Amino acid sequence: MSRRVMLIYTGGTLGMVRDEQSGALISFALDDVEQKLPELKALGYHLDAVTPFNPIDSSQTEPHHWQSIAQSISEHYNNYDGFVVLHGTDTMAYTASALSYMLDGLAKPVILTGSQLPLGIPRTDARENLTTAIELAGATDSNGHPRVPEVCIYFDYRLFRGNRASKFDSDKFQAFQSPNYPALVEVGTVIRFQDRYIRPVDGPLFKLRKGIDPGVAGIRLFPGMAKSVVTPLLESADNRVLLMETFGMGNAPTHSWLLDALRHYINSGRTVVSVTQCRGGYVDMGRYHSSTALREMGVVSGRDMTFEAAITKIMWLLGNDYTGFELEKSINKDLKGELTEV
């Protein structure tokens, strides 16, 4: 029996070809994907395609787009062995992270991929990225179980856990990296599955939990940051959580106005979370004196989460009615492989 894989097209460079007459880039019909990529026939998979919303540039992605993708997967979950989401690269890591929380009990591959160049362009990376993503979405072990039953990003011969990856380069084919967690699969002349790093099936039953509340603000600390810029954000009633990108292992300026503002924010019943600005590594508040005050006032450590994984996790927790201590505990807890617990 052939494996069944569903393609979910949301937009992005991969789903575009150059019009022969005008020379402009236009979307191609995914129903014709096997004509564009005849090598797919050799896989022997049954492919179907769906477009959950009008295709967009991924820089325009909003939480309701994540919910639409998750809803499409949920509606077709029992009829397919795996899913491939075609997505623009700019916000792919945000979407992958959000889906990892929404698709509770996931037991099948959900692989996001895209490209830096469209199909039909010389040297395009679209052909390999899409072909291998589809192959991985349908890959099984000797017992017929999916090899990678989690949300992933496939790009440039490597498969990463989706909530561990970040876009690293806007120009090179190696657009994504996962500095704090190894690749799940490395592709060369053979496909090498790194089974010890692949997350096992996530619970007994699949359940869609697509609640999202965008009541979170983000701020990146930098030298010379002005009080007049920061305090309005902390005084705003529109956010319940502040995600703060701190220096190094969670360090921050010790200006009294900043510490007082953060302390007042926390004392008002809201939450501050710290993640590192560094591409790799983790937050360990108290390691240095400049983070001691943050730890003492109750800033929550995001450990080694990426910014994308942290902010979508917070939105998902808020959207599923996590509050107070339960919210803070869950932020610091590994839910879907997004952080390393101590």
Residues annotated catalytic, as ranges: 13
Radius of gyration, alpha carbons of the chain: 21
Q: Is 99 left (phi over 0), alpha (psi -120 to 50) or beta?
A: alpha
Q: Report the C-alpha gap between 111 and 108 in whole angstroms.
A: 10
What does the block give as tokens for 91?
């916000």
Nearest to 342 by CA among 249, 268, 258: 249
Q: Report the C-alpha gap between 39 and 123 in whole angstroms.
A: 17
Q: Report the C-alpha gap between 63 and 197 in whole angstroms.
A: 29
What does the block give as tokens for 55?
């295709």
